[in-house]
Amino acid sequence: MKIIMLGAPGAGKGTQAKVISEKYGIPHISTGDIFRANIKNGTELGKKAKAFMDEGKLVPDELTVELLLDRVGKSDCEGGYILDGFPRTIPQAEVLTEALAKTGDKVDFAINVDVPDEHIVRRMKGRRNCPACGASYNLEFNPPKAENTCDKCGAELVMRDDDKPETVAKRLEVYHEQTQPLIAYYEQQGVLRTVDGTLSMDGVFRAIQDILG
């Protein structure tokens, strides 16, 4: 079962990917994690990616897909995997589709977690993170027990720069321009499934379970 998670920044697709991973026993894979692992381990692909990143350039789609295919070729991906954060554009999706087809493979489900922009702005404005232990909260949906204080370690919570309304608006603009067209792309391939991302976290997961079976 090979799954791609789609949705705007802040839609909750990363959270759902983790829950799907635990429930179905398949790895949750993000391109960021792949880059970091290959660079840390000094692999040939990692060295190539690092050369682009050191120059402040984006890693080319072909190299990103090569890194991705290397990762999904590992034994823990035999039963499937969930891709989170890739593809982000139509060209990336086309490169991935072609690369998978060469090995007789394909994406089984592209799950779109659909949330209106205004809901995302409100949701992300309430997000707070603990800089000490990494715990995350939401003032509206999952508030800490004591105001602005981490339940786990007592550190003061902070709002990340990319959760600020003006940054969120810019990220949504980029999403609609570059990533939203993937919805039509995977719909044409017959693998798109859309769930209502404004439901509770459990409600969204139940809807995804109904799709995956």
The catalytic residues are 13, 88, 127, 160, 171
3-state DSSP of 152-197:
CCCCECECCHHHCHHHHHHHHHHHHHHHCHHHHHHHHCCCEEEEEC
Residue 41 DSSP code: H
Residue 6 DSSP code: E
d(CA 38, CA 16): 25
Residue 12 DSSP code: S
Taking each continuous run of H as one helix and of E as one strand, the counts in the chain are 9, 7
Report the DSSP pairing between strands 136-138 and 127-129: antiparallel
Query: Residue 150 in contact with residue 157, Cβ under 8 Å?
Result: yes
Query: Residue 163 in contact with residue 140, Cβ under 8 Å?
Result: no
